[in-house]
Structure 1
Amino acid sequence: MFTPTTLRRSVLLALYGSAALAVYAPASFAQSGQQATKEEVIPSVSVVGSRRVSATSATDTAVPVDLIPMTRMAEQGGQFDLAQTLTYISPSFNSTRQSGADGADLVDSAALRGLGSDQTLVLMNGKRRHSTSLVNIFGARNRGNTGTDMNAIPLLAVKNIQVLRDGAAAQYGSDAIAGVINIELKRSLGCETVFGAGQYSAGDGENILASAYCGVAVAGGVVGITGEYLDRDRSNRAEAGSLRTIGDSKVQNQTLYLNGDIPLVDGKLYFTAGTQKRDASSAAFGRGADQIPTRNAQAMYPNGFAPFINADIDDHYGTIGYRAKLGEWNADFSQTYGYNKMHYNISNTLNASIANLDLIKGGKGVSASQFDAGGFAATQLTTNADASRFYPNILSGMNLAFGAEFRKENYEIFAGEAGSYNDVDGAGFGGDPGSQGFPGFRPADATDRSRHSVAAYVDVETDITERLKVLSAVRYEKFSDFGNSVTGKLAAAYKISDAVLMRGSASTGFRAPSLQQGYFSSTFTEFVNGNPVDSVFAPNGGNVANAIGIPKLKEEKSVSFTLGGTWTPTPTTSVTADLYRIAIDDRIVFSGRFDADNYAPIVPLLSTLGVGAAQFFVNSIDTKTQGLDLTVSNRSEVAGGKLNTFLAMNISKTEVTGVNAPAAFKGYEEVLLSERERLFLEQGGPRRKATLGFEYLLGKVGTDFKVIHFGKQTLGTWSGAPTPNQVYKAKTSADLSFTYNFSEKTKLTLGGANIFSVKPTEQNPDETDNGFKYESVQFGMNGASYFARLWHKF
């Protein structure tokens, strides 16, 4: 039987871990008297990928799991939000801040193993977390995807992150094609605070962080409360005199999280509640003086202007549950709630048609400079009932688990004020309609859609012998809007010796189309040769989609294989390597723009609807993703100090293997999926990423040096062939920080990220997605940054 101390060590250094775990080792060297583990009692651990509840589960999973302790990152890391922190730790995790991508600038999309953000399932304390209401549309990586907003979670509240790098739809349901990220929150006694400040070497993009955690004893249990305030200012890399603002969006987060449990008779009541209010603002493309009166007004912006796309984002999450021992069975009943809302307000803008009509009527020629543009919201309610039992006398031990889930989802779009979308000076005449920068949602776009799903699963994990473990799972899931799916998984691990283990898995998976993909709708007016043309993002099942002949969305289906092994030659050295292959059929993508120029048959189809161009979501492509995860970690003593070295690397390649056009679009596959859109799918993230880290502690001084390598990326152009594609050469940056431990309870960290100010390869701004010479690829365009972080424990 493991003690809590040996259990924690085994979780971090076991064969099933990753070199990402090595980030924890220096923390234990430096803070043996500071770690929250001294105050935690861990009677049992359940790690994502295994439903066994026992003291050895963390080292018994038959699939690759990275367990990443976050204590040290929250106390002295150089990144102030969760998404960026994980980007520089986990080799298979990728998140790049966008610029010039409208709402996608305000929510950082995150993904695993080269796939889309909505193909990764995110859990919190083992319970499904909701996605954002945003679907990425304009110029974003993860185009057409929804995802989970990792930055809605305060870093100081997180105890560890578990990354399951394996298909797991049969275990956890829809979305778990690329893998599963489980965020475990703190629930330990004691209080601590973190104050941080940083900015780019260019003198902008200031970050201010103030965060506090306090764990208190309540009725025999522990309740942890975390509050965080994060203020991130804009950065701007545009040339002097430009109307544009290119860089990080402005973000102000106010976050509060509660996580705890209270013993009850024969069981334990547990609960999590969190809320975040985010005020965010990104900059749109500029409108020049030469665009008067179509997009500008002489009386308002004679020298041009750049609108700001502002959003009030509300994110709420809550879980309440009860765990109990019913005879020999471990039972768990829970209810989870998730809500995300984005409400747009466009400022420093105008409605050019209103300004032009005002001028015609003898006025100054002005309109309002700020508009409520509407927005959207998504709600998720999940009810779970789970049971598991370990049978020690079946072979060398067998764990049987089964359960059921009911989930209800809702998605709504609400319209903006009339001035954000209307055309008042006459169709095809004068000024363009709607708020410049982001046209508001019209009443015709408004929607309120719901669906529900039911699921049941059986999961069996068997120790055939002391050296051979086999895991099998099957899951049935039925959705009210598209049908049902059955998925399965088989995995095994064999210990060749105490130092060498081989493991492999095969699984089928699925991802249900999100309500956002099914019902997103937006209409805006463009002028072609002086004539107004309504362009629509057409919802599935709506009049436009039906007129064109777009079929009803269905689930994506996947087949995944992994094969790997671990080698632990010494207690302080660990090597892991895992190959994977993921084939996805009927992948949902956002189509190209169909109009009279590239698809003549659309004219008679849409003319009666008053629409001239349309885009839509459709199950239209098959993809194949292959890759390798490699990690190496070592702990040693050097020159009287403690040295921890780790290498974490991911190499992946995604290819579109087929384009399956609906019958109406046969022969128009290049419009349905242009090369530009295909490259977004195949190379939206770098195909290679590696982190080499050296962490050294001597006395009270700790040094952290990381070298981060991002592989080559190729993206498309606006013009298309024969214009050459954008090639972004491989780039390598470095982070360096120093920590002084004043005592076991206080330390100060000073450091820099990307200290050599490496930037992406320059491109032709006319061909990039954001209209700037630097794209939002690899590690971004901002250059070097510096930070200070003070941590104190009470």
Structure 2
Amino acid sequence: MKLQTNALSRAIKFALASTATMGLTVASVQAEEADAGAENKKIEKIAVVGSRAAPRSVGDSPVPIDIIGGDDLSKAGGDDMLELLKGSVPSLNVHANPISDAASLVRPANLRGLPADSTLILLNGKRRHRSSVIAFLGGGINDGAQGPDISVIPSVALKQVEVLRDGAAAQYGSDAIAGVLNFVLKDASEGGSISVKQGQYYEGDGDTTTVEGNIGLPFTDQGFANLSFQYKEADPTSRSVQRPDAQAFMDAGLEGVRDPAQVWGAPEINDDITLFGNVGLELTNDSQFYMFGNYSERDVKGGFYYRNPTTRPQVYGGVIRNVNGEPTRRHPTDEAQQAAWDAATPTVLVGSLDGYDQQINCPVVELQSNGLPDQAALDSLAAANCFAFNNILPAGFTPFFGGNITDTSLTIGTKGEFTDGFMKGAYYDFSGSVGRNESRYFITNTVNASMGPDTPMEFSPGKYIQLEKNFNADFSKGYDFDLAYDVNVAGGLEWKEETFEVIPGDEASFIAGPLTQQGFGIGSNGFPGFKPSQGGEFSRRSYAAYIDIETPFTEEFLMGWALRYEDYDTFGSTTNYKVTWQYHATEDLALRGSLSTGFRAPTVGQANVSNVQTNLSSGVLVDSALLPPTNPVSQLLGGSELQPEESQSYTFGAVYQSGDLFLTIDYYNIEVEDRLSQSNKIDLTLEQKAALKADGVPNVDSLAQVSFFTNDFDTTTQGVDIVANYSMDLLGGFATFSAAYNWNETEVDKFSAITGDFKVARLEKDLPQHRATYTWTQQWEDFSGFLRYNYYGEYQGVHVDYDATAIMADPSFTFDAELTYFATENISLTVGANNIFDQDAEKVVDFLEDGATELTPSNTWGGIYYETSPYGINGGFYYVKATYTF
């Protein structure tokens, strides 16, 4: 039976109009009230993402889609959207790397084993802007990733989340190699809720308080205004023991050493405020106005590596000696002298306040048998007008790094149906979006060593700002070609502008002070500020055109065809396609599949950013510079202008529905060529430094390593997703059983020394190949609750991003549980826990001389657990929550 356009209801017309950019959902996923369990049997999950025809049920989609209701998202201990999603989507992995520069501020996530910026993020079907934070230390897989900040989206604002687990660049443009996440905001015009939640880790730290609310208001008689807010505070956590070197200093009587000197744990979050608004207004019977956006801001603060007061190069590192053991000035081009200096008796780095030429006259301060510098020699420095940081920071120091993250966006548009002219009967959607994300960094309890005794200890290294503008014109119309029902033809145009801005820091954070030539480090130690030469705006524009057709050859057989052309004013153009199909073999069984190409454009930030990080090299802290790939240093080491990644992917699977049982199985294969990532940290030789200085590159002596963004390797990722749901009456109530399993394997097909063996191992092994969740949800009249089992297969445990520490960690599992009591019609009380049995992450392993291993709570850097744990290192978390619904 054909589906005639004039038979569609007005709601479906608006849905069709919106599907050009997926701006509207037409059915709620889940009952909002807890006593609506019986109604859930009748509700069909409807998705807009993945198709530009009429919204369809998940089971009728030719591509795999998960729909997670807003009510489901609120059933978890955490408030970070990434944590909420990973419990429902097994192919989504989230790492909370405890010491990882800017990645601590905006955490990256991985869908199907690909980096965070290989998943396209949409809000109400519109492209979400990127974060300004680039994950310089992204734990291997996310090194250099720059994706949107998903954590600013609160669950209280959401009707549902649609997860398209399939490549979709031909439909939606760059980044959709792994899939698409579409966050759909609530659109109710009445009612609402307010809740207060308090939680804490079993260890007694990480206290988290969250207040959130939502209200639906009428916007005249023909519209709605739905408003949401969330406010959160979270204390830091520590899963650390005292570092052996710091403990040795304490045992030797050195005062002022922090315990622990270095903290591994979650950062401190203050004043985390988020506001979301979603507005819709029916203008006429055939047109609608919409507007939505957000304002979000938070302060995040975490710790860095401990600066040992005897060994930290360029702050405390030793005096240079010649082959006869006599103190001398450094000769950076003399390899023999450099080797002799490195092998010399350990000494404290001493500088002359009278200038470089006088450094040779400063006293030599050697280390004693107890590991501490000779105090008499230190006391003699002042008389010689010489200086060592041991005189003002004798116990070493640990920098604290953080930032203020501000995120804003606004989308305005109109959609509807043309009622006359040559476009009569077609649906349109015109929209404009602007999004801005700013990260303002700060670092405290550190020094600019080159400034000597005049250094401040607090710095503002500068800001990154990401600004994006999008304009879309999309159209959709059904045509009668005498097939099973109308052929839907969609097409449209898109214009984008992306700007990445670097704002320099305060002068003290980057200046090369008077002790620079004497071997002292430049800039705020741990995160030097951005110099004026690094500042500026870097922009790129692009435009795109697409066509997307769905052809119902019979009632049982559907095919889709998409073609997209996109042109960038930097690297040129790209054309991508996608073909999908679905065949209903029986009333209960459908087969489906897709074949597509895709691309991910390098971001403007990745192409232009430069930064100095602290990196561990063979267990020693050194300064490592990330430079633009076109910088002379990068080009000397093999860098070149960035090009887009290109992908080829295919999926095939089956959907089985019978009664209350729903089951999907999908295999996927994704080949990515010229993958873009941060290179390996490359050690600079003295000859290379001399050549760079000859070319006028400044401050070369302070650098030990260099990295840059590069298209250096190819990968093949394959896997299987299995999703099953079953509902039934049970124990006097209504029960839903859900199971989801993911097998994912990534193989690096081609790479060079620029990427390196260790990074390849991280790409292939850091994420568990097997993930599964099993959830039992139960509802009664006065109570509801759930119990979830989470399984994680073996993964590579890595500590401090250092290959000598890597092991394969054993499979493990955790349990989550929650129980809600509905005290009245409006008030509910909830108690729950994540990782309810406090399952430990894999502990750090020490390798003994005889080849045996032993577990120990201590190690060189003070961490207890491998930070690559897929469920984190903080352990069990319990919470209570009170909600008032109106």
Deviation of the 1:535 alpha carbon: 5.0
- Asked if 1:214 corresponds to 2:215, the answer is yes
User: What is the aligned partner in structure 2 of residue 30 from structure 1?
Assistant: 35
Q: Select the residue among 490, 497, 513 that pairs with 2:579.
A: 490
> How far apart in 2 are the matches of 1:339 and 1:348?
30
- Asked if 1:595 corresponds to 2:683, the answer is yes
User: What is the aligned partner in structure 1 of residue 723 from structure 2?
Assistant: 631
Q: Select the residue among 595, 599, 605 that pairs with 1:510.
A: 599
- Asked if 1:369 corresponds to 2:461, the answer is no
Deviation of the 1:305 alpha carbon: 2.8
Secondary structure of the equivalent of 2:310? helix
User: What is the aligned partner in structure 1 of residue 51 from structure 2?
Assistant: 50
Please list the CA deviations of residues 162-211 of structure 1 after superposition, one character each: whole Å capped at 9, or x if unmatched: 00011100000000000011000001021211211101011110111001
> How far apart in 1 are the matches of 2:616 and 2:428?
61
- Asked if 1:342 corresponds to 2:347, the answer is no
Secondary structure of the equivalent of 2:607? helix
> How far apart in 2 are the matches of 1:555 and 1:524?
26
- Asked if 1:697 corresponds to 2:779, the answer is yes
User: What is the aligned partner in structure 1 of residue 850 from structure 2?
Assistant: none
The one-letter amino acid of 1:787's match is Y
The one-letter amino acid of 2:695's match is T
- Asked if 1:351 corresponds to 2:448, the answer is yes
Please list the CA deviations of residues 404-438 of structure 1 after superposition, one character each: whole Å capped at 9, or x if unmatched: 10000000112111211223232242643322332
> How far apart in 1 are the matches of 2:878 and 2:109?
24
- Asked if 1:746 corresponds to 2:827, the answer is yes
Q: Select the residue among 647, 654, 658 that pairs with 1:558.
A: 647
Please list the CA deviations of residues 567-594 of structure 1 after superposition, one character each: whole Å capped at 9, or x if unmatched: 113x211111000000000111211123
> How far apart in 1 are the matches of 2:680 and 2:314?
25
Q: In 2, are the aligned partners of 1:717 and 1:726 still within 8 Å (CA)? A: no
Q: Select the residue among 409, 422, 430 that pairs with 1:333.
A: 430
Q: In 2, are the aligned partners of 1:536 and 1:614 still within 8 Å (CA)? A: yes
Q: What is the total number of aligned residue pairs between the two structures?
A: 746
- Asked if 1:161 corresponds to 2:167, the answer is no
Deviation of the 1:700 alpha carbon: 1.2
Secondary structure of the equivalent of 1:332? strand
Q: In 2, are the aligned partners of 1:691 and 1:707 still within 8 Å (CA)? A: yes
- Asked if 1:726 corresponds to 2:807, the answer is yes
Q: Where in structure 2 are there 5+ consecutive unaligned residues?
A: 13-27, 243-258, 317-388, 419-423, 847-857
Q: In 2, are the aligned partners of 1:99 and 1:105 still within 8 Å (CA)? A: yes
* Rg (Cα) greater in structure: 2
Supply the RMSD in Å over aligned alpha carbons. Answer: 3.0
User: What is the aligned partner in structure 1 of residue 347 from structure 2?
Assistant: none
Deviation of the 1:620 alpha carbon: 0.8
Q: In 1, are the aligned partners of 2:138 and 2:145 still within 8 Å (CA)? A: no
The one-letter amino acid of 1:289's match is P
Deviation of the 1:565 alpha carbon: 0.4
User: What is the aligned partner in structure 2 of residue 16 from structure 1?
Assistant: none
- Asked if 1:173 corresponds to 2:173, the answer is yes
- Asked if 1:567 corresponds to 2:656, the answer is yes
- Asked if 1:522 corresponds to 2:611, the answer is yes
Deviation of the 1:353 alpha carbon: 3.0
Please list the CA deviations of residues 248-283 of structure 1 after superposition, one character each: whole Å capped at 9, or x if unmatched: 111231111110111113411100110101111111
For residues 477 and 293 of structure 1, do their structure 2 counterparts lie closer, same or farther at Cα, with a shift above 3 Å needed? closer
Please list the CA deviations of residues 298-338 of structure 1 after superposition, one character each: whole Å capped at 9, or x if unmatched: 46543333211120111011100000211210100000111
> How far apart in 2 are the matches of 1:719 and 1:392?
59
Structure-to-structure mapping, 1:379-458, within 5 angstroms? 379-397=467-485, 398-429=487-518, 431-458=520-547
User: What is the aligned partner in structure 2 of residue 264 from structure 1?
Assistant: 283
User: What is the aligned partner in structure 2 of residue 313 from structure 1?
Assistant: 405
- Asked if 1:763 corresponds to 2:762, the answer is no
Deviation of the 1:698 alpha carbon: 3.4
Please list the CA deviations of residues 30-74 of structure 1 after superposition, one character each: whole Å capped at 9, or x if unmatched: 346999x99xxx9x97610000135x4665421111111112432
For residues 156 and 139 of structure 1, do their structure 2 counterparts lie closer, same or farther at Cα, with a shift above 3 Å needed? closer
Please list the CA deviations of residues 494-552 of structure 1 after superposition, one character each: whole Å capped at 9, or x if unmatched: 11112101001100111111112111112479999xxx998532213334334555221
> How far apart in 1 are the matches of 2:883 and 2:211?
10
For residues 385 and 145 of structure 1, do their structure 2 counterparts lie closer, same or farther at Cα, with a shift above 3 Å needed? same
User: What is the aligned partner in structure 1 of residue 265 from structure 2?
Assistant: 247
> How far apart in 2 are the matches of 1:596 and 1:406?
42
> How far apart in 2 are the matches of 1:430 and 1:186?
58
> How far apart in 2 are the matches of 1:180 and 1:769?
38
For residues 142 and 524 of structure 1, do their structure 2 counterparts lie closer, same or farther at Cα, with a shift above 3 Å needed? closer
> How far apart in 1 are the matches of 2:294 and 2:766?
31
For residues 471 and 587 of structure 1, do their structure 2 counterparts lie closer, same or farther at Cα, with a shift above 3 Å needed? same
TM-score by length of 1: 0.88
Q: Where in structure 1 are there 5+ consecutive unaligned residues?
A: 8-22, 359-366, 660-668
> How far apart in 1 are the matches of 2:746 and 2:861?
21
> How far apart in 2 are the matches of 1:527 and 1:64?
42
For residues 724 and 260 of structure 1, do their structure 2 counterparts lie closer, same or farther at Cα, with a shift above 3 Å needed? closer
> How far apart in 1 are the matches of 2:520 and 2:233?
37
For residues 703 and 717 of structure 1, do their structure 2 counterparts lie closer, same or farther at Cα, with a shift above 3 Å needed? closer
- Asked if 1:654 corresponds to 2:746, the answer is yes
The one-letter amino acid of 2:228's match is T
Please list the CA deviations of residues 336-390 of structure 1 after superposition, one character each: whole Å capped at 9, or x if unmatched: 1111111111122222333x344xxxxxxxx322111112111110000000012
For residues 446 and 764 of structure 1, do their structure 2 counterparts lie closer, same or farther at Cα, with a shift above 3 Å needed? farther
User: What is the aligned partner in structure 2 of residue 276 from structure 1?
Assistant: 296
> How far apart in 1 are the matches of 2:310 and 2:589?
69
For residues 58 and 319 of structure 1, do their structure 2 counterparts lie closer, same or farther at Cα, with a shift above 3 Å needed? farther
Deviation of the 1:28 alpha carbon: 6.4
Secondary structure of the equivalent of 1:451? strand
